[in-house]
């Protein structure tokens, strides 16, 4: 059992999606619990990817390929997880704040979130507070991910959080912030629920918040 999970984690680490699909199928056929396949096979593999990314052993390409392999495994488990008392797919809406045209970092966060099984709504760049408010009230995401790459656009994160509060929606959604100039101290000051320094950390943080 544990050998199968270890092997599954290794294929995920290597970004081998066909291997992950094959072993996930095998585990399902053996009658293993879907939640256990996820928690003991896929997640530990992805956590190792995250650790090695932080340590500078891996870079974005390896991480993304691993995230895609994870996604392939999760897709197979989804129907089984849904049958149990498992959570439905979580939704995150991502956008670069108003005044900021950068979107590469946000795109990478989107790919990673998808890999981790989140449903991603990409609002693009230069997204005004009103648009975030509208999305929270109509599409009802579990999380909002805001990105700012400029020191001059960072304050717009605060405005957006205030707009969400003013609309009475602050209890309805968790707010995650990131981007090159962003720090935990800034996240605390503006009242964000979470901060992550990179795309891998964003997924960990999102999981922690939900």
Partner 1 sequence: MTPTELTQRLRDRVLLLDGGLGSYFIAMGLEQGRAPEAWNLEHPEQVIEVHRRYVDAGSDIIQTNSFGASPPKLAASGLEGRCAELNLAAVELARKAAGASALVAGNIGPTGRFLAPMGDATEEQLEEALREQASALARAGVDLISIETMYDLREALAAVRAARDTGLAVLCSMTFELRPRGVFTIMGNRLVPSLQALRDAGATAAGLNCTVTSDAMLTMVEQTREQASLAPVVAQPNAGQPIATPSGIKYDADPDRFAADIGRMLRAGARVVGGCCGTDDAFIRATRRAIDTMVSADG
- The minimum distance between CB 97 and partner 1, in angstroms, equals 11
Which stretch, 33-41, 83-91, 119-127, 169-177, contacts partner 1 (CB under 8 A)? 119-127
Residue 64 binds to partner 1 (criterion: CB under 8 A): yes
Residue 89 binds to partner 1 (criterion: CB under 8 A): no
d(CA 22, CA 18): 6
Residue 26 or 68 with smaller CB distance to partner 1:
68
With CA atoms as reference, report the closest residue to 92 among 184, 20, 178. Answer: 178
Count of CB atoms within 10 A of residue 154's CB? 21
- The minimum distance between CB 164 and partner 1, in angstroms, equals 18
Give the x/- contact pattern for partner 1 in 11-50, rule: CB under 8 A: ----x-----------------------------------
Residue 104 binds to partner 1 (criterion: CB under 8 A): yes
d(CA 109, CA 112): 5
Q: Where are the alpha helices (DSSP H) in 37-154?
A: 43-54, 60-83, 104-115, 129-139
């Amino acid at each position: 059992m544990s050998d199968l999970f270890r092997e599954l984690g290794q294929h995920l680490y290597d970004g081998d999606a066909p291997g992950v699909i094959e072993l996930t199928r095998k585990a399902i056929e053996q009658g293993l619990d879907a939640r256990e396949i996820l928690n003991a096979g896929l997640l530990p593999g992805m956590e190792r990817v995250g650790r090695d990314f932080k340590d500078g052993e891996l870079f974005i390409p390896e991480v993304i390929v691993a995230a895609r392999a994870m996604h392939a495994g999760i897709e197979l488990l989804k129907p089984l997880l849904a049958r149990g008392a498992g959570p439905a797919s979580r939704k995150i809406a991502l956008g670069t704040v108003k005044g900021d045209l950068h979107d590469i970092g946000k795109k990478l966060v989107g790919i990673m979130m998808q890999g981790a099984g989140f449903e991603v709504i990409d609002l693009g760049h230069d997204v005004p507070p009103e648009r975030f408010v509208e999305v929270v009230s109509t599409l009802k995401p579990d999380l909002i991910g805001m990105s700012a790459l400029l020191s001059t656009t960072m304050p717009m994160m605060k405005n957006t959080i205030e707009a969400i509060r003013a609309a009475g929606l602050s209890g309805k959604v968790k707010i995650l912030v990131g981007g090159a100039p962003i720090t935990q101290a800034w996240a605390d000051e503006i009242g964000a629920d979470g901060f992550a320094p990179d795309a891998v950390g964003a997924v960990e943080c999102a999981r922690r918040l939900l």
